[in-house]
Copies of this chain bind each other. A is one copy, B any other.
């Protein structure tokens, strides 16, 4: 058994996972304001399991930039940035810990135990939530490049396009994400119900009920998803593309139009074999399952 930890902006999932990817136990708690508090809670859960099982190692998945076990920066986890989360959790648990980016962990989980085409050796996973993250498996292994590979959301695909929180203009995330969906819907005249905020989920729900503004917003985001995928497919021709993250629950609304836009934009799109676009088979567990699998590298 290994343990996977997936630290999100709001919730932290901790799971005990077998080598076959099966989740034997899982806990979800609100993410603590500081890494010290958050990891102490994680260590407490692991200690409970250690009484009963042999925990070989721990995989810790976080958003942002991870280098040498240190979470260097993470936009939505300010109390965690700069902390040597890997060594800290290893101290607390007495187990080897591997820290990696959450998008890469989700990609690895889906590759090993999820939606990958059987027999394939590469996969792109997009995590579509408030923002747009991702991860790559290439040549059968998690791909890191110089360490920062997979920041798909910040590929500039529209020169002089919408201003992004990262400081650049025209990042893919500004067109494909929960925030982008809300912005599109708002721009098309959709308003939140009294006392509620407009969020990605409510736009999707309205689109399912036939609201024209919401439907157009979903359509526009799906087009941008397919057009950006065309760039990635032209470069990498991955054998599977997986959509994970909260908004992947709207995969049935997004993927058909995204497929059309991909086929229309990618070179040779009318005749070539295109990778299947699938929703994550592991759902919201892709990150923890992948993190647990990554832990085998450290164990």
Contact = CB atoms under 8 A, between A and B. Distances in A.
Interface of A: 65, 122, 136, 138-139, 141, 143-152, 154-159, 166, 168, 171, 227, 230-232, 234-239, 265, 267-268, 272-273, 275
A237 B168 contact: no
Contacts of A147: 237, 273
A148 B239 contact: no
B146 A238 contact: yes
Given A141-B139, A267-B166, A267-B168, A231 B146 contact: no
7 closest pairs, A vs B, by CB? Answer: A145-B237, A154-B267, A139-B139, A149-B237, A146-B237, A148-B237, A155-B231
A141 B237 CA distance: 16
Contacts of A146: 237-239, 273, 275
Contacts of A267: 151, 154, 166, 168, 171
Contacts of A227: 156, 159
B159 A234 contact: no
Given A139-B139, A159-B157, A239 B145 contact: yes
A236 B265 CA distance: 21
Contacts of A143: 138-139, 236
Given A139-B143, A275-B146, A232 B235 contact: yes
Given A155-B235, A231-B157, A272 B139 contact: no
Contacts of A149: 235-237
Nearest to A166: B267
11 contacts: A136-B235, A138-B139, A139-B139, A144-B237, A147-B237, A148-B268, A151-B267, A155-B230, A155-B234, A156-B231, A159-B227
Contacts of A156: 227, 230-231, 234, 265
A150 to B, nearest CB: 7
A275 B149 CA distance: 12
Contacts of A231: 155-157, 231
Nearest to A158: B159
B235 A150 contact: yes
Nearest to A154: B267
Contacts of A157: 157, 159, 231
